[in-house]
Amino acid sequence: MTPKTPRLGRRTLIAAGATLAAPGPLAWPPPAAAQAPQGAVIDITRARTDPIPIAVPDLAGATPEAQRIGRDIARVILANLRNSGLFRPVDRAAFIQSPEAAAQTPRFQDWRVIGAQALTTGRAELAGDRLRVEFRLWDVLPEQQLQGTAFTAPAANWRRIAHLISDVIYERLLGEKGYFDTRVVYVAESGPRDRRTRRLAIMDQDGENHRFLTDGSFSVLTPRFHPNAQQIAFMSYFQNQPRVSLFHLDTGRQEVLGNFAGMTLSPRFSPDGRAVVLSATRGGDANIFVVDLATRRERQLTSGGGLDVSPCFSPDGSQIVFNSDRGGDQQLYVMGADGSNVRRISFGRGRYATPVWSPRGDLIAFTRIAGGQFAIGVMRPDGSGERILSEGWGMEGPTFAPNGRVLMYFRETPARDARGSGYSSRLASIDIAGFNERQIVTPTDASDPAWSPLLS
């Protein structure tokens, strides 16, 4: 099957990560020491830490065009850091030293007095279509460079450079990988609810570079990224045959996965990218299968009269969590990746659904429905330590950022009347401590977000 769809070109790779030695014009300060710096570095495993005050002046530039890109990059970095909830950008009106002077050499006193603990400086240079960005991260109190990196890329890719810099800042100051150089694929919804148009759409994690992948001539649901971020597994109603399908981002090609007689749904890739676990219906039952992507052979993992749906691998590939009504109502179960040793893990009040394993392996996020309310929560893989992060009239389908620190999901508001007025469905994110819930802006109603791995 090859429905006509817009193509998404392969990502242009950015030559990145060239480490800058000691700052150019000056012999001071020395490059960062190997040991973890103190000062601005904090521990984010604490619940609701105080955000790090950071100053992000515009990148300097020799020409108006380079200055404009430098300003745009700084704005993207600022938005990323602010939206994470873990950084507090220092008011730019208070800046004393100019970006140009700071890029030469920071006058730390000027940044200390306005309350900055961390400072970024940098320079954007344009040579034709090539953009080179030098970036440095400073720990203001010990007056120490934490990082110096240069990125080169086609100028059109300046946003990716901004996201890569944001990830460097996050990792150096918080001690773990960031999640800014990522994308989100989701279902863009428009039209009245009884005749909804649903299209696959993809965007950067901050909502930019938005584009539709399918044209709405057939409905789509539940897209999920391959670990290489170049394929998407999703459920397609192409030709009114609801089947799990694959979308190849580099070519736009689509194909039905497997040779199932009935509906297939709720796909997820295995962590090694070689297989897809999904649910297949036969008669009134739904059971979990794994489809090998090389041989396309199917292997049935569960059987019996229940509805087994929403399977998801553990990050080491050894286990699968899923939800089933085999015990009477929907609960979460974990089994070996071969279908062995099935055990129930959810025992709280209500129905549990859409389990998804954290990339860190430490938590399983889920949707809970209880007392007429939907909620997003997390629990440990053995079912202990359940915590509800957000609760409301309608919300479901959590997806983890690649560092396991943030969840995205969709939130619905109820209709006010019999015509459906007031209903909406929007993407939201929240950190796993339950703070910093934010709406993700999309052009239309949205559902079923899936977070990509880091793109580089």
Partner 1 sequence: MSHTKLFGALAAVALLAACETPGDQTAAATGAGAAGALAGPGGVAARPGSQEDLVANVGDRVFFDFDSSVIRADQRPTLERQARWMQQHPQVAVVVEGHADERGTREYNLALGQRRANSARDVLVANGVAGARISTISYGKDRPAALGSNEEAWAQNRRAVTVVR
Least Å distance, CB 396 to partner 1, is 5
- Under the binding rule (CB under 8 A), the answer on residue 329 touching partner 1 is yes
Q: Please, which residue, 352 or 451, has the CB nearer to partner 1?
A: 352
Q: Are 144 and 29 in contact (CB under 8 A)?
A: yes
Applying CB under 8 A, among 64, 284, 294, 295 the residue interacting with partner 1 is 284
In terms of C-beta density within 10 A (0-12 exposed, 13-18 middle, 19 or more buried), how is residue 237 classed?
middle
Applying CB under 8 A, among 42, 79, 155, 221 the residue interacting with partner 1 is 221
Q: Please, which residue, 79 or 342, has the CB nearer to partner 1?
A: 342
In terms of C-beta density within 10 A (0-12 exposed, 13-18 middle, 19 or more buried), how is residue 34 classed?
exposed
3-state secondary structure of 294: coil
Kindly indicate which of the ranges 67-75, 234-242, 380-388, 431-439 contains the residues binding partner 1, using the contact rule CB under 8 A. Answer: 234-242
C-alpha span between 129 and 311 (Å, rounded) = 45
C-alpha span between 334 and 346 (Å, rounded) = 10
Q: Are 132 and 54 in contact (CB under 8 A)?
A: no
Least Å distance, CB 325 to partner 1, is 8
- Under the binding rule (CB under 8 A), the answer on residue 144 touching partner 1 is no
Q: Are 23 and 32 in contact (CB under 8 A)?
A: no
Kindly indicate which of the ranges 54-62, 79-87, 101-109, 409-417 contains the residues binding partner 1, using the contact rule CB under 8 A. Answer: 409-417
Least Å distance, CB 422 to partner 1, is 8
Count of residues touching partner 1 (by CB under 8 A): 52
- Under the binding rule (CB under 8 A), the answer on residue 192 touching partner 1 is yes
Q: Are 262 and 305 in contact (CB under 8 A)?
A: no
Applying CB under 8 A, among 29, 252, 262, 315 the residue interacting with partner 1 is 262
Nearest Cα neighbor of 323 from 296, 350, 360, 294 is 350
Residues linked to residue 309 through DSSP beta bridges, in sequence order: 323
- Under the binding rule (CB under 8 A), the answer on residue 369 touching partner 1 is yes
- Under the binding rule (CB under 8 A), the answer on residue 414 touching partner 1 is yes
- Under the binding rule (CB under 8 A), the answer on residue 396 touching partner 1 is yes
- Under the binding rule (CB under 8 A), the answer on residue 215 touching partner 1 is no
Q: Please, which residue, 59 or 334, has the CB nearer to partner 1?
A: 334
- Under the binding rule (CB under 8 A), the answer on residue 271 touching partner 1 is no
Applying CB under 8 A, among 83, 230, 346, 447 the residue interacting with partner 1 is 447
Kindly indicate which of the ranges 60-68, 86-94, 193-201, 332-340 contains the residues binding partner 1, using the contact rule CB under 8 A. Answer: 193-201
Structure tokens belonging to residue 113: 């007095």
Of residues 339 through 358, those in contact with partner 1 by CB under 8 A are 351, 353-354
In terms of C-beta density within 10 A (0-12 exposed, 13-18 middle, 19 or more buried), how is residue 333 classed?
buried
C-alpha span between 255 and 22 (Å, rounded) = 51
C-alpha span between 196 and 349 (Å, rounded) = 33
Applying CB under 8 A, among 78, 244, 309, 427 the residue interacting with partner 1 is 309
- Name the residue type at position 441: V
Least Å distance, CB 311 to partner 1, is 10
Structure tokens belonging to residue 285: 């039952």
Residue found by looking up tokens 């999640």 in the block: 179
Q: Please, which residue, 179 or 218, has the CB nearer to partner 1?
A: 218
- Under the binding rule (CB under 8 A), the answer on residue 257 touching partner 1 is no
- Under the binding rule (CB under 8 A), the answer on residue 256 touching partner 1 is no
Number of Cβ within a 10 Å radius of residue 438:
15
Could you report how far apart the first and last alpha carbons of the chain are, in Å?
31
- Under the binding rule (CB under 8 A), the answer on residue 420 touching partner 1 is yes
Using CA atoms of 435, 441, 447, 453 in order, give the dihedral in degrees to the nearest 10. Answer: -70
CA distances, 278 to each of 127, 215, 220 (Å): 49, 25, 15
Applying CB under 8 A, among 145, 330, 390, 452 the residue interacting with partner 1 is 330
- Under the binding rule (CB under 8 A), the answer on residue 398 touching partner 1 is no
- Under the binding rule (CB under 8 A), the answer on residue 236 touching partner 1 is no
Structure tokens belonging to residue 304: 């019996």
- Under the binding rule (CB under 8 A), the answer on residue 10 touching partner 1 is no
Kindly indicate which of the ranges 64-72, 140-148, 332-340, 365-373 contains the residues binding partner 1, using the contact rule CB under 8 A. Answer: 365-373
Exposure string (b/e) for 358-394, b if CB count within 10 Å is 16 or more? Answer: bbeeebbbbbbbeeeebbbbbbebebeebebbbeeeb
Least Å distance, CB 266 to partner 1, is 4
Question: Site residues (CB under 8 A) for partner 1?
Answer: 1, 192-196, 198, 219, 221-222, 235, 239-240, 242, 262-263, 265-266, 279, 281, 283-286, 307, 309-310, 323, 325, 329-330, 351, 353-354, 367, 369, 372, 393-394, 396-397, 412, 414-420, 423, 447-448
